[in-house]
Amino acid sequence: MNWITNYVRPRINSIFSRRDTPENLWSKCDECGTMLFHRELSGNLNVCTSCGHHMAITPRERFETLFDGGVFTEIDVPVPLEDPLKFRDQKKYPERMKAAQKNTGEKEAMLVAEGEIGRTPIVSAAQDFTFMGGSMGMYVGNAIIAAAERAVLKKCPLILFSAAGGARMQEGILSLMQMPRTTVAVQMLKEAGLPYIVVLTHPTTGGVTASYAMLGDVQIAEPNALICFAGPRVIQQTLGEKLPEGFQRAEYLLDHGMLDRVTPRTEMRDELITIARMLMGQPPAVMGDLPAPDMVEALPTPEKAAEKPTEKPEDK
């Protein structure tokens, strides 16, 4: 990586990838009802600036803010058999898939990429709850295996962001088979002595918590994320008892020894850099992801050259 990939490319990308969202778009926080200007909201990683409520963030947006300069390379995931069971509920499974692909603009419920964070090479996988509830089917299994294999090949940590309603029922037993498959993938990392860091986001439930989402060397969660196997409604109905407040939420799990950290999204990147470097036996990150000051001055346009090279490392 050099200043072209770290600095110029993201700038060019940002010019071309600018979404045509109207400037005056406001969204309402589900938690406190504050109207938030979309730019302010996305600038704060979809965390409410008023109450700190963590709203959903797509894997692509997450990667754009996670990797240095927003630069990452997607890793190819082998595409599994389509609709092996010819499943149909109210809709056919392929129809549901098409609708989800259209809504999200993504192929499937997990995105895998590699790049650098704080100049530390990593592989990362992120699950998309908006894609059929982030459900774990054969593709997600393949994605985790591809991510683990890549991390082993590159000898770097794997950081996984989970968000799921569980296994994909349209794939029946084949989706359940992803639990042992992904467990073996995690085992590959452990055998290679590489860190596997899990960031649990709202909500992570079902078979996903019964496999790869709970096998991290370090388990981090976003504030107030629901993390469980069976959801609170099911438990409440079964027991016929009222559940304690905050039950199955990130902070509750932290108090009960199920998690290592609960970290706000806005601090997550720095924390992941620190943990990844520590576990890889590397010295703490000193430089941020901006190019060295002399590089900034060497850039052609006058306004770029005039940019203060002083706003770097620490205040990223």
Distance of CA 17 to CAs 10, 11, 141, Å? 10, 10, 29
Judged by the rule CB under 5 A, the positions of this chain that interact with Zn ion are 29, 31-32, 34, 48, 50-51, 53
Q: Rounded to an integer, what distance in angstroms lies between the CA atom of residue 294 and that of residue 297?
A: 5
CB of 32 to Zn ion, least distance (A): 3
Q: How many CB atoms lie within 10 A of CB 218?
A: 20
CB of 40 to Zn ion, least distance (A): 12
- Which contiguous run of DSSP H or E holds residue 37? strand 35-37
Give the residue with the Cβ less far from Zn ion, 30 or 267. Answer: 30
CB of 30 to Zn ion, least distance (A): 8
Q: What angle do CA 127, 26, 110 make, to 5 degrees?
A: 10
Q: What six digits make up the tokens of 73?
A: 């390379």
Give the residue with the Cβ less far from Zn ion, 29 or 113. Answer: 29
Are 66 and 4 in contact by the 8 Å Cβ rule? The answer is no
Give the residue with the Cβ less far from Zn ion, 33 or 313. Answer: 33
CB of 36 to Zn ion, least distance (A): 8
Q: Which residue has the tokens 């965390």?
A: 47
CB of 224 to Zn ion, least distance (A): 11
Query: β-strand 72-74 against 196-204: which pairing, if any?
Result: unpaired
CB of 39 to Zn ion, least distance (A): 16
Distance of CA 200 to CAs 13, 168, 258, Å? 29, 19, 12
CB of 33 to Zn ion, least distance (A): 7
Give the residue with the Cβ less far from Zn ion, 55 or 85. Answer: 55
Give the residue with the Cβ less far from Zn ion, 36 or 285. Answer: 36
Give the residue with the Cβ less far from Zn ion, 47 or 199. Answer: 47
Q: What's phi and psi for 138, nearest 5 deg?
A: -65, -35
Give the residue with the Cβ less far from Zn ion, 51 or 234. Answer: 51
Give the residue with the Cβ less far from Zn ion, 51 or 287. Answer: 51
CB of 217 to Zn ion, least distance (A): 33
Q: Rounded to an integer, what distance in angstroms lies between the CA atom of residue 145 and that of residue 182?
A: 6
Q: Rounded to an integer, what distance in angstroms lies between the CA atom of residue 210 and that of residue 180?
A: 10
Q: Rounded to an integer, what distance in angstroms lies between the CA atom of residue 46 and that of residue 56?
A: 7
Alpha helical stretches, state H, 121-248: 138-154, 172-176, 178-191, 232-239
Q: Rounded to an integer, what distance in angstroms lies between the CA atom of residue 263 and that of residue 246?
A: 17
Q: Rounded to an integer, what distance in angstroms lies between the CA atom of residue 202 and that of residue 221?
A: 9
